[in-house]
Amino acid sequence: MFNRILLLGGSGQLGQVLQPLLKDFSAQTDLQLFVPTRQVLDLNNTDAISDYIAQHKPDLIINAAAMTQVDDAETNPALADAINHRAVAVLAYAAKQQKAAFLQLSTDQVFDGSRSTPLLETDPPNPINAYGRSKWAGEQALVAAYAGTDLLWWILRTSWLYGEQGPRWLQHIDSNASVVTDQIGAPTSALWLAHIIVQIIQDAKTQPMESGIYHATMAGQTSKFDQAQRHLMQRHLIQQGQQPKLKPIKTEDFKQAVAKRPLYTVLNSDKLAKALNLTIPQWTEATDIHFMQLALNQAKIAEANGEVPVGAVVVAADGKTVLAQAHNAPITANDPTAHAEISALRQAATTTNNYRLDGCTLYVTLEPCTMCVGALVHARIAKVVFAASEPKAGSLQSQRQLMNEDLSGYYNHRFVWQGGVLAHAAALQLRTFFKARRQT
């Protein structure tokens, strides 16, 4: 449905992970992707925006560009308004002339934080800082420009967004820093959100998601304090058993902040989940998304070799060390057992010099077959996470449920499993592969 996509904010936290996904997508569907740098398209220059749109004629604009530093916005509200509001107004007007669809990224900061239950799209915004005001004005500018047209537009409001390097504010945090306990929200992985955007674009071909505002955050909630504590634990900055030294404080006592912060901004993303027919993962499951992306990258290698695109990754018991990355290769290796899972298990066992992979997790893009379930049992793998289900040969949930069936005494080890992580992306990869194969 879309042939010319313009992505703004390509170098931001979301843009950095969205760009490669869109490039893959454009290679599969031969659409054109434009990602102008700030030097090429300055959003502070309204004439430049109109000229660029008229010249490149996009049929979808994804606006992930924003001034997102809340304190900077407070000290320079004019610049925040120029980028987060006026640029959106000009973009939306120019986009409408081209009959382009529009996807705008927005924020939980449009709310005042006075609630204590998850916020719905129908709840009225009431921003309490310059950043929130500029983003809310940007939303309204898009809605006003597209009112009365049948063009598609979506506003995705996300919260506590972080990229592959982790949350920016936690990157250099001291283990004895003061952190607020009364700001509650849902940290959201940029990679997860990027996959959501690709799915919205993909669905637009057949059944476009209805125009409107959507909350798009990961599920669950936490405080800034608990998020920081968890982050430090994972980084091993705090020894096991030792009490964290972070100092809990109230927002009103945190004097370094220039801008006011809304306290409670947990968003209810049920509307999005329903529209895209997906389950929203808990924010604590973001690492699953990250490792599944590595498996998807492996599947791409298989595809390039003419193999069915399946990739697998083995992660150590620490939950962060990647022990193996492998892809499907029975044809190229002349080996009927060269499934991605088997190759990944072999690699991980070689790396650790141990055929038992106690406590390890295997990520794979497709539900494992009977042979692979057998091998995973032999390897004593602790957990299997897969993306797409395999209706014909899947042996965990589809054809057989080998880990759930009553085979007492038959297996000397059982692993837990979970399906559906990035299922949409894996299914798209497989569909594209088989479609191309049928055509040749």
Segment near Zn ion (CB under 5 A), from 111-119, 180-188, 370-378, 422-430?
Answer: 370-378
Q: By three-state DSSP, how is residue 34 classified?
A: strand
* CB-nearer residue toward Zn ion: 60 or 340: 340
CA–CA separation, 362 vs 387, rounded Å?
A: 11
The helix (H) or strand (E) run that includes residue 384 is: strand 383-388
Scanning residues 213 to 232, which ones bind Zn ion (CB under 5 A)?
none
Q: How far apart are CA 422 and CA 194, in angstroms?
A: 11
Span of 153-161, 194-202, 216-224, 367-375 interacting with Zn ion by CB under 5 A: 367-375
Q: Which of 195, 261, 339, 424 binds Zn ion (CB under 5 A)?
A: 339
d(CA 182, CA 422): 32
How many residues sit in the footprint of Zn ion (CB under 5 A)?
3
CA distances from 392 to 278, 308, 328, 396 (A): 22, 14, 17, 12
- Segment contacting Zn ion (CB under 5 A): 68-76, 310-318, 368-376, 419-427? 368-376
Question: Of 23-31, 283-291, 361-369, 379-387, which segment contacts Zn ion by CB under 5 A?
Answer: 361-369
Q: Which is nearer to Zn ion, 113 or 394 (CB)?
A: 394
Angle (CA) 315-10-326 rounded to 5° is: 25
Cβ-in-10-Å burial (0-12, 13-18, 19+) of 155 comes to buried
> What count of residues does the chain have?
440
Answer yes or no: 121 catalytic: no
Q: Which is nearer to Zn ion, 12 or 394 (by Cβ)? A: 394
Q: How far is the CB of 325 from Zn ion (least distance, A)?
A: 16
CA distance 326 to 126: 49
Print burial letters for 284-319: b (CB count within 10 Å at least 16), e (below 16).
ebbebbbbbbbbbbbbbbbbeeebbbbbbbbbbeee
Signed CA dihedral, 91, 92, 95, 100: sign only: positive
- The nearer residue to Zn ion, 158 or 328, going by C-beta atoms, is 328
Least separation in angstroms between residue 367's CB and Zn ion is 9
Considering the complex, state which of residue 281 and residue 368 has its C-beta at the smaller distance from Zn ion.
Answer: 368
Q: Specify the DSSP element, H or E, that contains 307.
A: none
Question: Rounded to the nearest whole angstrom, what is the least distance from the CB of residue 387 to Zn ion in the complex?
Answer: 14
**Residue 154 main-chain phi, psi, to 5 deg:** -140, 140
Q: How far is the CB of 369 from Zn ion (least distance, A)?
A: 4
Among 341, 367, 390, 405, the one annotated catalytic: 341
Out of 21, 191, 360, 369, the only residue in the binding site for Zn ion (CB under 5 A) is: 369
Task: Find residue 62's DSSP bridge partners.
Answer: 7, 103
Count the neighbouring beta carbons within 10 Å of the beta carbon of residue 263. Answer: 21
How far apart, in whole angstroms, are the C-alpha atoms of residue 354 and residue 13? 38
Residue 312, amino acid: A
Please select the residue that binds Zn ion; options are 88, 197, 372, 425, rule is CB under 5 A.
Answer: 372
Task: Return d(Cα 100, Cα 3) in angstroms, integer.
Answer: 11
Pairing outcome for strands 247-249 and 178-180: parallel
Tell me which stretch binds Zn ion (CB under 5 A): 167-175, 200-208, 339-347, 356-364: 339-347
DSSP 130-185: HHHHHHHHHHHHHHHHHTT----EEEEEE-SEEBTTB-GGGTT--TT-EEESS-EE
Integer Cα distance of 253 and 259 in angstroms: 13
Residue 339 or 346 having the CB closest to Zn ion: 339
Name which of 53 and 324 has its Cβ closer to Zn ion. Answer: 324
- Which one of 203-211, 321-329, 335-343, 383-391 is the stretch in contact with Zn ion (CB under 5 A)? 335-343
CB of residue 345 to Zn ion, shortest distance in Å = 11
Minimum CB distance to Zn ion smaller for 62 or for 376: 376
CB of 429 to Zn ion, least distance (A): 17
Q: In this complex, which beta carbon is closest to Zn ion, that of residue 145 or of residue 357?
A: 357
CB of 342: closest distance to Zn ion in angstroms? 7
State in angstroms the smallest separation of the CB of 373 from Zn ion.
8
Q: In 3D, which of 293, 271, 267 has the Cα closest to residue 424?
A: 293
Residue 436: CB minimum distance to Zn ion, A: 22
Active site (catalytic) residues: 341
In the complex, the residues that contact Zn ion under the rule CB under 5 A are: 339, 369, 372
